[in-house]
Chains A and B, each alone.
Chain A
Amino acid sequence: MVGSPPHAVDLAALIAATMLPFASFLAILVATRGRPRLSAGLSIGSVTIALVCSIALLALNFQLAAPIQFSTRLIASSGLNIPFGFLLDPLNLLMIVVVSTICFLVQVYSLGYMAGDPGFSRYYAFMSLFTWAMMSLSLSASLLQLYFFWELVGLSSYLLIGFWYEKFSATQAGKKAFVMTRAGDVAFFIGFLLLFIHTGDLSIVHLNSRAALAGISPSFLTLSALLIFGGIVGKSAQFPLLTWLPDAMEGPTPVSALLHSATMVAAGVYLFARLFPFFSMSPVAMSVFLAIGTISMLLASTMALVSRDIKRVWAYSTISQLGFMIMALGAGGYFAGVFHLTTHAGFKALLFLCSGVFIHRYETNDIYELSRLGARRMLVPMVSMVLGAAALSGLPPLSGYFSKEAIMGSLSVLPDPVWLAAGLVGVFLTAYYSFRLIFILLLPGESEAPAGAPAAPAHESDESGHKFQDRVMALPLIILSAVTVILGFFATPLKHFLGASLTARGLAGTEASSWPHMAALALAVAGVSLAWIEFGRKGAKQVGFVDRIPSLYRLFSERWYIDRFYGLLVNVVVDRGISRLCYQNDKKVIDGSIDGICEGTVESGRVVAFLQTGMVQYRLLAMFAVLVLLALYFYY
């Protein structure tokens, strides 16, 4: 089911876009570790080319009718024929543009943010690795290939979260992220292997066609869909594997912006959209996805209500926004999910990068502390942040508004109103927590120390370098703000672009009534207002309504005890339970029995040695006796 014949230009662009970052990764690791500037140049150069290539590809193929596939067979082992190559369709054209744009911006931003770090080269190497893996992931033609890069993306996430490896919490968070996503990936792995065993082909185009799955029983289809969804749960930090993402904020902020909000975690959602026709063939699985999306969205929103850490607030909001996307996709709103993915990548990266500016300057993550130190005086980041938060809350005319509208629209066509209600609650909570943060930052509370000390002590001294850094860091903010503002208006062309491929497969987008839009907007405004009342207005105590209910507060700040549960699982069940049991079994039972046998042999030898004093004559006597007895025996 290969679409149009491949074009040489496309292929060249694809290869350039994917392989150059990999080349720069290797080059940095092998050759230029000692030269940070050169490393950064290599990395940014390669990502720039990737960006240009992807935009060119998008432009060239904007009128794409059927997906294009370039593939070769990587391993041609018997019983294992897996195509390896590129697939080009609207979804991944959009995705590579998003990925390369954010990668480019973040890498530029990092020039300022990471300046002077001893691991500067390493940072750019890992960034290139990530770019390569993420681009290739988006362009994968088969599930196996996708899994391949899926894991590599996880690896770069691990390496980047634990980038400051001397910090215990960072390495811990990296490990946690890797292991938790791994747990999901294992499900994914089993899922696609099962699928492979039953269909004999892992090509995405093939899986998405109805004909390929005709011979498979629905229950099996549901099973494999659920298993593959396990990978999505892990990667996109959905319930129940959601706790790694907030911890992943231990990494450098640009990393959080790139991997843990805009692109990598969105890979899960991307996979969902990628296999959307496949998933939608199993209604049971779809409703499970919808439920999981909803649960994660609500849980994460509540966690965001009480966090004091600026990055964690955004991390929770990332989870909840990803939940939104999965809800939308689960509800059948393909365009809504993908569009929200796109807009979210823009504004969430923006929010993180703004926070990064604050953190870089004031070296704290605590929002109250930032506010006290005078974060609001930094104009560009602050304005961008407000824009981003507004987009996040779904206020018009920013991009988030349009995508949220679309999501509400797709939720509203569901027969059961529960999902829509949950979505609306989510909208309200989102608006509330984002503006809670904004208002706290804008208005230092009266209880806080006087804001008269706009101290940024560490960086005031060397002005020129500082200026450069500031500019380099401000540029992406401005670009992203612009994107946030205007992206919403591209909803219709994008819908056509994406819808073209979907209608081609007979899955029409759904149209919705208009009242949910109104309700969502109203609730968003309500959320902002509540935040204003509690935090923004003059004389506000800056105490949220959740803070007043201690048990709820504790529940939320303990992340619904999910982390405790995993901690318990790992410490008690795995470490002190199974592991210790196995270890003791190894030492005591297996080794013990072997040593016992050995010692028994030695001991019995000793006993026998005691019987015969080692005197040669006794042995001779024994020999003789035996001979005689043998003679007797043979004689009779």
Chain B
Amino acid sequence: MIVPFSNVLVVAGILFALGVFCTVARRNLIMIVLGIEIMLNAASIVFVGAALHLDSLDGQTFVLFILAVAATEVSVGLAIIVYAFRRTGSFDPANFNLLR
């Protein structure tokens, strides 16, 4: 017997909020990607917890996919960051506003 599911949700929620905060508040591209990783991680926790809660392996399976997606996202995202850094010499997202 471990903790109730709500506590897992709260923990994951706090983690998610931290990730959001990181993504939104830090003016550094790498930190933004890092924040996204944190959010994904928080989601993974919820999934694993839910798998236990609902007694279904689907939640765990999803975490597997999240891992894969995270890996994809990080590799492409970092490649883009490197590329962008080479073009502008900066990590500040405020410099990337060509779409404006």
- Contact, chains A and B (beta carbon distance below 8 A): yes
Q: Which residues of A contact B94 (CB under 8 A)?
A: 613, 615
Does B24 count as interface, using CB distance less than 8 angstroms? yes
For the complex, give the distance between the alpha carbons of A273 and B84 in Å. Answer: 91
CA separation between A617 and B100, bound complex, in Å? 13
In angstroms, Cα B20 to Cα A617, docked, is 10
B53 close to chain A: CB less than 8 A? no
Which of B24, B27, B98, B99 meets A621, CB within 8 Å? B24
Are B97 and A617 neighbours in the complex by a CB distance under 8 Å?
no
Residue among A609, A613, A624 making CB contact with B24, cutoff 8 Å: A624
Q: Which residue of B lies closest to A606 (CB)?
A: B100
Find chain B residues with CB under 8 A from A624 CB. Answer: 20, 24
A616 contacts chain B at the CB level, 8 A cutoff? yes
Does A614 interact with chain B (Cβ within 8 Å)? yes
Task: Say yes or no for A632: interface residue by CB 8 A criterion.
Answer: no
Q: How far is the CB of B31 from chain A (nearest CB, A)?
A: 10
Secondary structure at chain A's binding surface: helix, strand, loop or mixed? Answer: helix
**B21-40 interface (Cβ within 8 A of A):** 23-25, 27, 32
A379 cross-chain contacts in B, Cβ below 8 A: none
Q: Give the number of A-B contacts (CB < 8 Å).
A: 28
- Chain B, interface residues (CB within 8 Å), range: 10 to 19
Query: Does A458 have its Cβ within 8 Å of any Cβ on chain B?
Result: no
Q: Which residues of the partner chain B approach A620 to less than 8 Å between Cβ atoms?
A: 20, 23-24
Contact indicator per residue, chain A 256-273, by CB within 8 Å of chain B (1) or not (0): 000000000000000000
Closest to A621 in B: B24
Q: Is B96 an interface residue, CB under 8 A from the partner? A: yes
Closest Cβ–Cβ distance, residue B6 to chain A (whole Å): 14
A615–B91 Cα distance when bound, in Å, is 12
Closest to A618 in B: B24
| Chain A stretch 580-626: residues in CB contact (< 8 A) with chain B | 609, 613-617, 620-621, 624
A617 touches B99 (CB 8 A): no
In the bound assembly, the distance between CA atoms of A613 and B27 in angstroms comes to 14
Q: Mark A235-274, 1 if CB is under 8 A from B, else 0.
A: 0000000000000000000000000000000000000000
Instruction: Find out whether the CB atom of B97 lies under 8 angstroms from the CB atom of A614.
Output: yes
A616 to B98, CA, bound (A): 11
A101 to B4, alpha carbons, bound, how many Å? 116
Contact between chains at A616 and B96 (CB < 8 Å):
yes
- B12 CB, nearest partner CB in chain A, Å: 14
B35 → chain A, closest Cβ, in Å? 9
For B100, list chain A residues within 8 Å (CB). Answer: 609, 613-614
B22 → chain A, closest Cβ, in Å? 11
Which residues from A are CB-within-8-Å of B93?
A: 615-617
Q: Which residues of B contact A613 (CB under 8 A)?
A: 94, 97, 100
Q: Which residues of A contact B23 (CB under 8 A)?
A: 617, 620
CA distance A616 to B97 in the complex (A): 8
Query: Once bound together, how far apart are the Cα atoms of A416 and B32, in whole Å?
Result: 106
Minimum Cβ distance to chain A for residue B47 (Å): 19
Question: Contacts of B97 on A, CB cut-off 8 Å?
Answer: 613-615
Assembly CA distance A614 to B24 (angstroms):
14
Residues on A with C-beta less than 8 A from B98 are 614
Measured CB to CB, the nearest residue on chain B to A624 is B20
Q: How far is the CB of B94 from chain A (nearest CB, A)?
A: 5
- Nearest chain A CB to B70 CB, angstrom units: 18
A72 to B32, CA, bound (A): 86
| Most-contacted residue by chain B among A613, A616, A624 (CB, 10 A) | A616
Which residues of B lie under 8 Å from residue A609 when comparing CB positions? Answer: 100
A617: min CB distance to chain B, Å = 6
CB distance from A143 to the nearest CB of B (A): 69
Give the shortest distance, in Å, between A322 (CB) and chain B (any CB).
77
How far, in angstroms, from A615 to B95 measured CA to CA in the complex?
8
Are A617 and B27 in contact, with the CB atoms below 8 A?
A: yes
Interface centre among A620, A621, A624 (most CB of B within 10 A): A620
Q: Give Cα A294–Cα B98 distance, bound, in whole angstroms.
A: 82
CA distance A191 to B35 in the complex (A): 83
Min CB distance A614 to B, Å, is 3
Q: How far is the CB of A207 from chain B (nearest CB, A)?
A: 74
User: Please, how many angstroms separate the alpha-carbon atoms of A614 and B98 in the complex?
Assistant: 8
Query: Which single residue of chain B is at the shortest CB-CB distance from A619?
Result: B24
Closest to B20 in A: A624
| Chain B residue at minimum C-beta to C-beta distance from A610 | B100
Q: Which residues of A contact B (CB under 8 A)?
A: 609, 613-617, 620-621, 624
User: Which residues on B are within 8 Å of A, measured CB to CB?
Assistant: 20, 23-25, 27, 32, 93-94, 96-100
The contact sample of 12 A-B pairs, CB cut-off 8 A, is: A613-B97, A614-B96, A614-B98, A615-B96, A616-B32, A617-B24, A617-B25, A617-B27, A620-B20, A620-B23, A620-B24, A624-B20
**Lowest 8 A-B CB distances belong to which pairs?**
A614-B100, A614-B97, A621-B24, A615-B94, A616-B93, A620-B24, A609-B100, A624-B20
A613-B97, A614-B97 known; 9 other A-B pairs, CB under 8 Å?
A: A609-B100, A613-B100, A614-B96, A614-B100, A615-B96, A617-B27, A620-B20, A621-B24, A624-B24
